[in-house]
Amino acid sequence: MENLSAHIQVIVSEPSKAFHSKEIDVDNEKGYVKAYKCLVECLSSFALEFNSNFEFFHVLESTVIEGAHNQRFFSAHLPSLTNVEKGENNIVRFYKNFVLKTIQ
């Protein structure tokens, strides 16, 4: 169980590193990424209600989650790679706009 807790912490703080590992297939079989997969499924079902003809909901939602994590990292460490402004929530605004325009 200790390994599971560590894996969850990596998913939250550095999701790409959690999935881009040699052990991902074993970790997936053990259910370590189940919560992440459920999150993508849940977000996809909300989007599906908006436009049932859009065919790439899982791609869209997993891309948004990963991209948002990257943008948060960039804003803290590589700010020239993002458009974060103090007092503004540009990352959320960007992804709301991105998702809504994509699934219209």
Query: Could you list the pLDDT tens digit for every one of the 104 residues in the chain?
Result: 445 455 445 555 656 666 777 888 998 899 888 888 888 888 888 888 889 999 999 999 889 888 888 898 899 899 999 998 888 889 989 998 999 999 98
Query: Helix, strand, coil: what percent of the chain each, to 5?
Result: 75, 0, 25
pLDDT of res. 82: 93
- Longest Cα pair distance anywhere in the chain, in angstroms? 43
**What are the residue ranges spanned by the domains of the chain?**
1-32, 36-104
Q: Which two tokens stand for residue 10?
A: 């990596």
Q: What element of type H or E holds 65? A: helix 57-77
Per-residue model confidence (pLDDT) at position 79: 92
- Which pTM was predicted? 0.75
